[in-house]
Amino acid sequence: MFARRLIDNEALESMSSKTNMSAFRVTDQLRPYLSTLMGTGGFRALISRALALAATEVSWLRTVQVHADGSLEGVEQAHAKLGSDEFSEGRVVLLAHLLELMAAFIGEILTLRLVREVWPKVPLNDLDFGNKGKK
Amino acid sequence: MKTPNKIEKLTSLKKVVSKPAKVTIRKLPTGVRGLDEILGGGMPEFSFNIIGGAPGCGKTTMAHQIVFANATHDKPALYFTVLGEPVLKMLRYQQQFSFFDESKLNKDIRFINLSDVALDKGLNAVLEEIIKQVTAFDPRIVVLDSFRTLARQVKSDAADVEVQAFVHRLAQFLTSWQATTFLVGEYVEEEIRDNPLFTMVDGIFWLTQVTERNSVVRKLQIIKLRGQATVPGLHTVRIGNLGLQAFSRTLGLVGSKTKPARRRHLSIGVPELDKMMGGGILEGDSLLIAGPSGTGKSALATQFIAEGIRSGEPGIMAVFEERPDGYKQRAGTFGLHLKAAEEKGMLETLYLRPLDLSVDETMQEILDAIKRVGAKRLVIDSLVGFEMALAPGFRADFRESLYRMIGALTGAGITILSTVEVEDTFTGLPFSHYAISFLTDDIIRLRYVEIDGQLRKVMVVIKMRGGNHSKDIREYVITDKGVVVIHPRRTDYTGLITGIPQRTGPRKAQENETAPEPKAAS
């Protein structure tokens, strides 16, 4: 699935560049690009919707809040309490829903174009935007 | 070659210095079919314009087309969205149009949302952000959509002054940065008078949408465009897969080549009728065939086109009433094989019975076909059907538009035959029930007459603007050769044009005809 690959890809890039990795780094990385495009309010609305959808599948995401600038609150606290698989699942499901929403609104081609603005080298095989097979 | 002496050199230099070149305003393509011609060649570069009108007129689509037509890697376009349609929705809908090239997104075309800046910090911050982005990307085109909502957001006592100052500074900055700018906004026409914005901009592109009965008509008017002559008036606009298409009132025919000074007579395909017309229809003439149903108007039109094809002159048949297959089938019975001509690219048959079409769009279809086949002859069968195929709102413009098209096409040397159905009256000889005869050079009238207990057909050339013609009323029949003029002028009848002529000479002996059906027993 595309969301998981994006997260794995980002993890590899972060390790090689030895930068600190935030818990929801992919979503954080997308935020300024999407905020430029749709405004902070627009991004906040979209991530809130993605979070609401994701929280129905991954219960711990219910504790996460969206700030006015579209950043997420409560992720680090949850990370400390959860096992890595459980935490990773939440990360993937949220990103999958965000991408799925984007694809539903503007189509896969434009969604991919925006994603590749941030990660130009991300491989484009297996373009399943949905959260099927998220684990 | 003689080498110029010192004085000659000085004189030529003086000429150069005393006549400095005027600035040439480069014109940018709009990407909207028909609009460049309306604008007088395109958008003036570095101009500061407004695209205004009511919701649903196509303002944003027009802005997108301009952006996609001009944005390049080196000179991108910046599309600022402010408090209007959310960008996701904008992209969702705009990508349905064929001009939308997703490969340009966020490279050649950058969408930047300024809603938060506008809401939180006000106009000055919006201007600062625009300056920052324009300085960073050096765009060719800048769009601010929706400018109206941005201006409305200002609520101070000096709101008008604040907005005016913003527009002034924005225009000054963007022009200095060599950007061509479009402010997109929802305005009503009354605002043009009072809103200083309309005085400040270089161009006003005004879109309207009018509902008449069940049809919707979109129109475009270039209310103002500094620096160049535009085509005045209201132009029809349609939104389709291609995006916005504009149909110029001049139909793009301004400056097309003119009629040759010495014109040939072209055969109509009916030898006796050619003689009646002094050798045939003059090249570049518009001929109207008027007559009631069943008198052979379409047959004559077919013969006219077929004769052209035989002479190597491609043709277009714009058919509004009868289906093309029926048309071709009937032509076949006259020995005229139109299908073969179509296959050779010598003929195109347009069957135009759409709903809600504007007259200009229909004419554009005809003009496109004329260009495709290099047509020299055009048939419009019939004008009544043509008018009926139009949306009700366009019917009022029918004659005016037809006049423009026929004038331009015949001016370019294309010979046109139009048909019109008229009812036979028994007291006069009307050419048509609406006054369209003014747009034709030549008129042939067909009509029924009662002679010797039979309903026969006669024709007469009423008018030929370019030359003399026979004044004879001639009888004709429709046979397997098409329309065939038979009898020479009949002098044994008077009042033929009334339909019920009076015999003036002695009645000729006639054979009794057998009744087609036995009479019913009384």
Is the per-residue pLDDT at B15 higher than 60? no
Tokens matching residue B290: 């008027």
* A/B interface, count of CB pairs below 8 Å: 52
d(CA B420, CA B431): 8
Q: Which of A38, A40, A117 sits opposite B87 (nearest CB)?
A: A38
In chain A, the residue whose alpha carbon lies closest to the alpha carbon of B107 is A117
Out of B5-9, B135-139, B405-409, the most confident range is: B135-139
Is the per-residue pLDDT at B69 higher than 90? yes
Contact A102 B86 (CB under 8 A): no
More confident position, B176 or A129 = B176
Tokens matching residue A69: 């600038």
Q: Which of A41-50, B76-85, B250-259, B500-509 has the lowest mean pLDDT?
A: B250-259
CB contact at 8 A, B205 and B48: no
Instruction: Tell me the average pLDDT of chain B.
Output: 84
- Tell whether B293 is within 8 A of chain A (Cβ): no
pLDDT given for residue A121 in this prediction: 77
How far does the CA of residue B371 sit from the closest CA of chain A (Å)? Answer: 37
Contact residues, chain A, for B88 at CB < 8 Å: 38, 42, 46, 102, 105-106
- Tell whether B350 is within 8 A of chain A (Cβ): no
Residue A43: domain span = 2-131
- Tell whether A133 is within 8 A of chain B (Cβ): no
Residues 6 or more apart from A46 whose CB is under 8 A from it? A34, A38, A98, A101, A102, B88
More confident position, B426 or B451 = B451
Q: ipTM more than 0.95?
A: no
Q: Which of B95, B106, B114 sits opposite A114 (nearest CB)?
A: B106
- Tell whether A105 is within 8 A of chain B (Cβ): yes
pLDDT given for residue B435 in this prediction: 62
pLDDT given for residue B301 in this prediction: 94
Confidence of residue B509 (pLDDT cuts 50, 70, 90): low
Q: Which residues of A100-118 are buried (b: 16+ CB within 10 A; e: fewer)?
A: bbbbebbbeebbbbbbebb
Interface of B with A in 78-97 (CB under 8 A): 81, 86-89, 91-92, 95
Q: Which of B100, B106, B112 to mutate to test the interface with A (most CBs of A within 10 A)?
A: B106
In three-state secondary structure terms, B505 is: coil
Interface of A with B in 23-42 (CB under 8 A): 35-42
Measure the N-to-C terminal CA separation of chain A; round to a whole number of Å.
9
CB contact at 8 A, A127 and A94: no
The angle subtended at Cα B32 by Cα B193 and Cα B212, nearest 5°, is 60
The residue behind tokens 């490969």 is: B103
Type and span of the H or E element at B163: helix B159-176
Q: Which of A37, A41, A46 sits opposite B111 (nearest CB)?
A: A37
Burial (CB < 10 A; 0-12, 13-18, 19+), residue A45, is middle
Count the domains in chain A.
1
In three-state secondary structure terms, B256 is: coil
Burial (CB < 10 A; 0-12, 13-18, 19+), residue A119, is middle
Could you read off the pLDDT of A39-97 as tens digits, one per residue?
888 899 899 999 999 999 999 999 999 998 999 999 888 888 888 888 889 988 999 99
Could you read off the pLDDT of B346-384 as tens digits, one per residue?
999 988 765 556 777 777 888 889 989 999 999 998 888
In three-state secondary structure terms, B310 is: helix
pLDDT given for residue B56 in this prediction: 87
CB contact at 8 A, B295 and B457: yes
Q: Which of B86, B92, B116 sits opposite A40 (nearest CB)?
A: B116
Contact A105 B89 (CB under 8 A): yes
Strand order in the sheet with B473-479: B347-351, B315-319, B377-381, B415-421, B286-291, B442-451, B454-464, B473-479, B482-485
- Tell whether B230 is within 8 A of chain A (Cβ): no
